[in-house]
Amino acid sequence: MRADAVTDYPQEGIMIRRAMAVVVALTLNPALVRAQDTVLTVTVPSADVFKGPSNVTPVVGHASHGAVLPVSRNLGSWVKIAWPAAPDGVGYVHVTMGRLGPAKADAPARTTASRASAGAAPPARTPAPVRTAAPARVAPQVPAAVAPPSHVLGVGGLVGSMSSFGASVRAWHDNRLGIQLGLTRDAMTSAGDTSRVTSVQFEPSVMYAFFDRVGDYVWIRPYAGSGVSFRNQTFSAAPGDPAAISESGVGFRVFGGTELTFASAPRFGVSADVAYRRFPTPFAGFEASPLSVSIAAHWYIK
């Protein structure tokens, strides 16, 4: 065996031991791991902590000036933080409420040992090292009560099957109970002639939202409701017929659907629902289907 081949083994052993030492140092030094974390330092007198990444979601707390909040996820305009007072244990703060930056690791303790000088001179004492304290983290301030949501009153419109369209007003109380007022118009024509029936419905309804599912980008609110339908139908044999006949009736409506609100447009809600209506049919041959599908959009003004 050659001498240079024998000397390669100690060199390889030294390299392996050095690599293992680096891995152990990185694993056992928590300061290096914490230094890569991101925190939001509150720079305003009080920062609202929301249930979701939107200012229309409930406020679940407040963080005082100087609070250092560890960020678990950066969403661009919002950051996700741990907030034990929230129902799901997390909260969201707008980035304009503070300053984003890396978390500062605790300053390592420095120790020095005094050495006695040679000769008869007494050993000199070196001054004790000054320990640099890490910046104190301010505990978040938990509010006494949760602020109500901002989705209270919305106005908008809707479109549905049978070429129906109209206006809609929706109001929520405590994010669960709701009232909706709808005014719609639709028309049915006969396949064999020019006769047609136009209908106008006014439908006040009560609603109940089962729960709120607030994610990073969308707020989902499923609901169900029922109400009374006041309907006026007009039959005309031809367009502009002066002998048109009108009849009015009262029915009921049962419906269910889901409202979606996106974080990029927090005051705009889009909903889709399926409804069952029951009406008297005064004009033979113009019976509408009891099932209908509609899509509504509401802009919440408060």
pLDDT of residue 19: 54
Separation CA 185–CA 205 (nearest Å): 17
- The pLDDT tens digits for 224-237 are 999 999 999 888 87
- The pLDDT tens digits for 257-289 are 999 988 778 889 999 999 998 887 777 777 778
Q: List, in order, residues 6 or more apart from 300 with CB less than 8 Å away.
A: 56, 150, 151, 152, 153, 154, 267, 268, 269
Q: List, in order, residues 6 or more apart from 174 with CB less than 8 Å away.
A: 148
Among 75, 56, 94, which residue's Cα sits nearest to residue 214? 56
pLDDT of residue 209: 93
For residue 270, the 8-state DSSP code is E
> Beta-carbon neighbour count of residue 284 at 10 Å?
6
> Percent of the chain, pLDDT > 90?
37
Q: Among all chains, which residue has been given the structure tokens 């009015």?
A: 248
Backbone angles phi, psi at 114, to 5 degrees: -85, 140
Judge contact between 257 and 272, C-beta under 8 A: yes
The CATH fold of domain 153-300: Porin (2.40.160)
Region of 83 (left: φ > 0; alpha: ψ -120 to 50; beta: rest) is beta
pLDDT of residue 177: 92
| Higher-confidence position of 108 and 68 | 68
- The pLDDT tens digits for 85-94 are 888 899 999 9
Judge contact between 260 and 174, C-beta under 8 A: no
Domains of the chain, by residue range, sit at 3-102, 153-300
Separation CA 178–CA 206 (nearest Å): 6
Helix (H, G, I), strand (E, B) or coil at 291: strand
Instruction: Please give the mean pLDDT across all residues of the chain.
Output: 77
Length, in residues, of the chain: 302
> Beta-carbon neighbour count of residue 19 at 10 Å?
10
Separation CA 219–CA 199 (nearest Å): 34
Tell me if the domain spanning 3-102 has CATH number 3.20.20.70.
no
For residue 281, the 8-state DSSP code is -
Backbone angles phi, psi at 250, to 5 degrees: -125, 135
Residue 17 scores a pLDDT above 70: no
